[in-house]
Amino acid sequence: VCFYFDQCVIMGIYSALAYGLSSWKLFSLLSLPPASLFISLPPSRKPSHPQLNSFIGHMAQGGRGRWEGTLSSLPRLPNHSACEMGELTQTGVVQHLRNGQLLRLSYKRHKLLPPNWSTKQVWVETTGRSRTLQSGMALLYGFLPDFDWSRLTVHHQWSTLFCGSACDCPARNRYLEEEQRRQYRLRAADTELERTYADMARTLGLPPRQLRAANPIDSLLCHLCHGLSFPCVAAGSALGSGGCLTLAQFAVIRRQQLEDEVDRRRVGLYRRYAVLATHPYLNRTANRMERVAKVNALGRKPRAGGEEVFTLSSAHDVTVAPLLSALGLEDALFPRFAARVVFELWKNMFVRVLYNGEDVTFHTTFCRSHDRNTAQPLCPLGNFLSFVKKDMFNVLNATSYHNACYRRTG
């Protein structure tokens, strides 16, 4: 989210993780969409939100907005009688309405957006998935209730990395492949995990390899976060031996996931991948901040309606996770449902970074060593600009994004 105003600028990337089923394969194989997990939005059902009814009505007017590319063909609201793959649930919509409302309350006193905000001042972008579009719309509505559709353009990002025209990077792909091989070796060496997968597969009547490929942790998390029991198969069923998946099995998978995060940090392959994966997005963010800083330094007021004031990027867990790693926030766990990262630029050219509402600025690589006992105990914008333009490539022994992406090794 980005805000460009006299007092502060906030940028960030919002993860549309609050969707119903991220691992839909397990359900489609079982043919067990939970009856209590509706993909529709009756305001009378819990969880609800005071803005839910008006949000539904406002989305019905979305034809008045401008939708880039194929976004106009996507549904603006979840509306299915049963779970379909990767759909946002009512719980997810409510989470994002609350996120937007929290932002509105936090920045209300700064009067960030003028009442007559222009199309250029509010920038909204999303990938081409219905769950990210719907998540972004819910958060935007929570922040700007009853916003004027005629002023809004929703931009399409085709890549989950939000890399625009700078997506080509051979070295990034190599690091990702190496990281995936590391993950596989660690999982294959975990005998308890393999036994657990075999037990789960036997219960459900699936080949263990097929169960692994379905990534059951996502599906089980969906059940857990919606207060539902884990999937069951009736005894004597042709599907499997019968019984239910258990919390103990979930705990084994989650334990291995946490151990994988520790090993990931130790080896460092993911950090190298993350730097190259997120530089295009961070570079756009830095360029926006730098433009505002230059206008401020010259003592001029920003052109009316000329610069972005608020930028919302509705993305995925695979967008947010490398962003956290690239910033040096290695202790942050894998993004939870409806995770959010916010960048703020303050009037005197200082930056602040928040993750799920917590100030993590002085945990980032670019501001970890800054002396907070000075007269200005905030992180200078120059630290962030220097990090994005050159310092973040130190881990790759490179001097630029192009150099890091195309340099031959070995």
CA 396 to chain centre: 25
> ∠ CA 370-375-377 to the nearest 5 degrees?
40
**Comparing 147-161, 292-306, 366-380, which segment has the lowest mean pLDDT?**
292-306
Residues 6+ apart with CB under 8 A from 185: none
Per the model's pLDDT, the better-predicted residue between 327 and 307 turns out to be 327
Residues whose CB falls within 8 Å of the CB of residue 252, separated by 6 or more in sequence, listed in order: 192, 193, 196
d(CA 264, CA 259): 9
Looking at 27-36, 89-98, 362-371, which range is the least confident one?
27-36
- Which pTM was predicted? 0.88
Which part of the chain is CATH 3.40.50.1240? 5-21+40-167+270-396
pLDDT of residue 51: 92
- Tally Cβ neighbours within 10 Å of residue 129: 19
CATH architecture of 5-21+40-167+270-396: 3-Layer(aba) Sandwich (3.40)
Mean pLDDT for the stretch of residues 87-108: 90
Q: How confident is the model at residue 409 (pLDDT cuts 50, 70, 90)?
A: low
Q: Is the pLDDT of residue 390 over 80?
A: yes
pLDDT averaged over the chain?
84
How confident is the model over 274-288, as pLDDT tens digits?
999 999 999 999 998
- pLDDT tens column, 194-241: 999 999 999 888 888 888 877 788 888 888 888 888 888 887 666 667
DSSP-based three-state secondary structure for 370: coil
Residue of 99, 97, 16 lying closest to 49 (CA atoms): 97
Q: Which two tokens stand for residue 406?
A: 């195309």
Query: Which DSSP state fits 232?
Result: E
Confidence of residue 302 (pLDDT cuts 50, 70, 90): low
- Name the E strands within 169-219: none
Place of tokens 């029991």: 229
